Structure 1
């Protein structure tokens, strides 16, 4: 296994990148947002633009063709991208993260076949863990039977982001008849593999345009050469190097979206006049905006602390990543609710940008694990400290 963490770029180059991304998000990014909401789809041209601008290869190390940002630097950009349309954020977040699951376990041949094309944005990889009939972990039931150099894959996956338009599914399954973590395998499954039926389940409340798939496999053949790691390491591949930093990244996306909601609320309150005064002159509104500001900053600082501890290899990283995610998600719910309330009834209309922000915010409640899951992780880590 290799160390997936980037060493970072110099401060001058990073500040230029921050400026560039901010200008894109507030300019072309807003145009894309309007287009996506109007059509209900994310066109392939958006993927191409993000790829050509290098936005899909920022977090990966230079040896994989990435820009080599440190994790904390990447989070600063995630914060900005998250102020854009949720589907823009989703593309950038996923592509800049899936390499973390693949790279530590890949052979050099597999890096050339899967990892580097993913970082370059020329091949799309969808993370396929969740199943309809169980949780997301050791109880997965999607199974494989090995015959010579081929695994035959059977079972179902659902809620798979970009699972319709991807080139490969990075899929966790288990050897038929095995239980628990033992016997799990991680496979790079080609999208066009025979023996699979893909259903497009993209009609969601928010995050308009991001495709989601339900896949049903019936002895779909997958080369053993497409396995990452060894038999028995499937969940380590799926969860170990990917889920922890991804939770921190999602937490920072909550901060970015909350900042956008706060910006919209403040701007509206300044221009909205009732009984001769703007809303910003009303103490009730002042208090709501002040509470939002403190809420956002508190979550942000916990997230940055979790990021630094993860980069340092701290044993507290597991607990801190879940603390950051659950704190940020709860904060986002409070901030967007107040922001919509400040808009009054008008905020409920699709003509106001806060309406989309409010819908998109709800998706963060289950991305990379619900708050209930995060609390279980935190308590489990707490128990470890008490039994030493």
Structure 2
């Protein structure tokens, strides 16, 4: 975890202003190109890298800027008002180091530094078509000497086509639950038995590549393992998914703010029957509800971020709760923003159409709300059991 807490406020505000100017200027030009071409150009990745936007959150010793997590989220909030693929690049590159660094040996740490700098792209490779929680992983490895032989399938893997490495999770053959899970840094270099299928034709988040991966006795050196056998879910859940869920929640806040901005602009411009839409009570109600929704979600996201930064015992349920609240809020806000545009909003020439499509992806990014509610409910019940012991527990 990033332990740097000192930050020069003037420099930080300058950085915020710089990022906002980029999002509203070059970012919008890139957004139009991504939508037109259906691809994220390599030049965009290089521009984000050269500007340092891919290494905002990592500690200085890894080559990052050392910005504390809650303050980093203020920057991600701004980036998230841009195209979803731009947000995805910034979000993922500023997060994968969290999973890798605590478990990396000296050699792997050099790879982590390259990931932080943007020299290499690492794709988080957990999701499977027939598994949903992580503990039910079906991809397996069989160890023979110094080599694992990997078998299984992954899908919905963001950057899985173009990445340099897959941060991949599997289990030792014959194990169940979290026991026997492993995390592997697998190079995307045409390994024997590895098939990469481009599955990038999506409703929204155009330009970001997504992969289906098939592995058949694909050899992976044991030296590619992060941590020990049995540490796989620790790498995945605590290192990446917990803070990443908070990041996704803040990205929902940022995109909702963009939707609200577009709705306000349109309401102030559009006239019907001699009145601006902004003068009509029903439109004012929509805008007021959106404002309250966004403000409430943002407050919870920042509380969850501080809990994570401080290793608070309720960091995990707050992480999931913030995502539940924020993505549900985003659905309501974008729906009302589109409704304010009327039929015009349904046409791709208007930015709200893209915002509306992009917003839907966050409902299942880093775990569906159904899974998040399971996490929160489990924590609530465990907390109650710990603070309200039954007679049987007391006697025990």
TM-score > 0.5 by shorter chain: yes
Given candidates 108, 111, 136, the residue that maps to 1:110 is: 108
Given candidates 253, 256, 274, the residue that maps to 1:255 is: 253
Q: Are the counterparts in 2 of residues 262 and 289 from structure 1 also a CA contact under 8 Å?
A: yes
Aligned position for 1:50: 48
Unaligned stretches of 5+ residues in structure 1: none
Q: Are the counterparts in 1 of residues 253 and 294 from structure 2 also a CA contact under 8 Å?
A: yes
Q: Are the counterparts in 1 of residues 80 and 251 from structure 2 also a CA contact under 8 Å?
A: yes
SS of 1:230's equivalent in the other structure is: coil
Q: Are the counterparts in 2 of residues 255 and 328 from structure 1 also a CA contact under 8 Å?
A: yes
Aligned 1:21-36 pairs, distance under 5 A:
21-36=19-34
TM-score (norm 2): 0.96
1:387 and 2:388 are equivalent in the alignment: no
1:155-178, CA deviations, whole angstroms, 9 ceiling, x for partnerless residues?
A: 111100000000100000011111
1:127-163, CA deviations, whole angstroms, 9 ceiling, x for partnerless residues?
A: 0001112223111011111111111111111100000
Aligned position for 1:14: 12
Q: Are the counterparts in 1 of residues 2 and 66 from structure 2 also a CA contact under 8 Å?
A: no
Q: Are the counterparts in 2 of residues 8 and 73 from structure 1 also a CA contact under 8 Å?
A: no
Aligned position for 1:345: 343
Given candidates 300, 303, 325, the residue that maps to 1:302 is: 300
1:131 and 2:131 are equivalent in the alignment: no
1:93 and 2:121 are equivalent in the alignment: no
Q: Are the counterparts in 2 of residues 6 and 71 from structure 1 also a CA contact under 8 Å?
A: no
Aligned position for 1:142: 139
* Displacement after TM superposition at 1:17 (Å): 0.4
Q: Are the counterparts in 2 of residues 6 and 60 from structure 1 also a CA contact under 8 Å?
A: no
TM-score (norm 1): 0.98
Determine the C-alpha separation between the residues in 2 that align with 1:88 and 1:8: 28
Aligned 1:210-359 pairs, distance under 5 A:
210-359=208-357
1:378 and 2:366 are equivalent in the alignment: no
SS of 1:287's equivalent in the other structure is: helix
Q: Are the counterparts in 2 of residues 186 and 237 from structure 1 also a CA contact under 8 Å?
A: yes
Aligned position for 2:117: 120
What is the total number of aligned residue pairs between the two structures? 385
* Displacement after TM superposition at 1:195 (Å): 1.5
1:5-58, CA deviations, whole angstroms, 9 ceiling, x for partnerless residues?
A: 443521111001000000000000000000000111111111010001111001
Given candidates 182, 185, 192, the residue that maps to 2:179 is: 182
The farther-off stretch of 370-379 and 3-12 is 3-12
* Displacement after TM superposition at 1:245 (Å): 0.6
Determine the C-alpha separation between the residues in 2 that align with 1:243 and 1:37: 28
Q: Are the counterparts in 2 of residues 4 and 103 from structure 1 also a CA contact under 8 Å?
A: no
Determine the C-alpha separation between the residues in 2 that align with 1:363 and 1:293: 22
SS of 1:132's equivalent in the other structure is: coil
Q: Are the counterparts in 2 of residues 184 and 233 from structure 1 also a CA contact under 8 Å?
A: yes
SS of 2:337's equivalent in the other structure is: helix
Determine the C-alpha separation between the residues in 1 that align with 2:113 and 2:34: 28
Aligned position for 2:389: none
1:41-87, CA deviations, whole angstroms, 9 ceiling, x for partnerless residues?
A: 11111101000111100110000000000001110001000000000
Aligned position for 1:79: 77
Q: Are the counterparts in 2 of residues 195 and 218 from structure 1 also a CA contact under 8 Å?
A: yes
Determine the C-alpha separation between the residues in 1 that align with 2:3 and 2:326: 23
Aligned position for 1:66: 64
Q: Are the counterparts in 1 of residues 150 and 215 from structure 2 also a CA contact under 8 Å?
A: yes
Determine the C-alpha separation between the residues in 1 that align with 2:165 and 2:326: 31
Q: Are the counterparts in 2 of residues 173 and 186 from structure 1 also a CA contact under 8 Å?
A: yes
Determine the C-alpha separation between the residues in 1 that align with 2:257 and 2:45: 25
* Displacement after TM superposition at 1:107 (Å): 1.1
SS of 1:262's equivalent in the other structure is: helix
SS of 1:241's equivalent in the other structure is: helix
Determine the C-alpha separation between the residues in 1 that align with 2:241 and 2:140: 22
